[in-house]
Amino acid sequence: MQPPAGSQVSRVPAQRAPQEDLAPPPAQPVPVPPRRRLRTALTVAGVVLAVVCLSAAATVYILYSRASAPDRSAPDVVVDNYLRAFLVDRNDARADLFICGQGPDGVAELRALRTDLEAREKRFGTTFSVKWGGLTVQEREEQAEVVVDLTISAFVDGISQSDRQSWQFITREESDWRVCGAAKVG
Whether residue 155 lies inside any domain: the answer is yes
Same domain, 120 and 65: no
Whether residue 13 lies inside any domain: the answer is no
pLDDT tens digits along 68-80: 778 888 999 999 9
> What total of structural domains would you count in the chain?
2
Which strands, in side-by-side order, build the sheet including 129-140?
Answer: 129-140, 143-156, 159-173, 177-185
Whether residue 146 lies inside any domain: the answer is yes
Residue 128 is part of a domain; what is its CATH number? 3.10.450.50
Same domain, 177 and 107: yes
Domain that holds residue 145: 75-185
pLDDT tens digits along 88-103: 999 999 999 999 887 7
Q: Are 100 and 78 in contact (CB under 8 A)?
A: no
Whether residue 30 lies inside any domain: the answer is no
Q: Residue 12 and residue 28: Cα distance in Å, rounded?
A: 35
Same domain, 98 and 126: yes
Same domain, 171 and 81: yes
- When the pLDDT of each residue in the chain is averaged and rounded to a whole number, the result is 86
Q: Give the number of other Cβ atoms within 10 Å of residue 58's Cβ.
A: 10
pLDDT tens digits along 94-148: 999 999 887 778 899 999 999 999 999 999 899 999 999 999 999 998 899 999 9
Q: What is the mean pLDDT of residues 34-53?
A: 88
Same domain, 153 and 63: no
Same domain, 63 and 131: no
**Residues 112, 113, 114, 117, Cα dihedral to 10°:** 120
Residue 171: closest CA among 68, 70, 80 = 80
Whether residue 10 lies inside any domain: the answer is no
Q: Give the number of other Cβ atoms within 10 Å of residue 89's Cβ.
A: 11
Same domain, 169 and 92: yes
Q: Are 109 and 183 in contact (CB under 8 A)?
A: yes
Same domain, 51 and 116: no
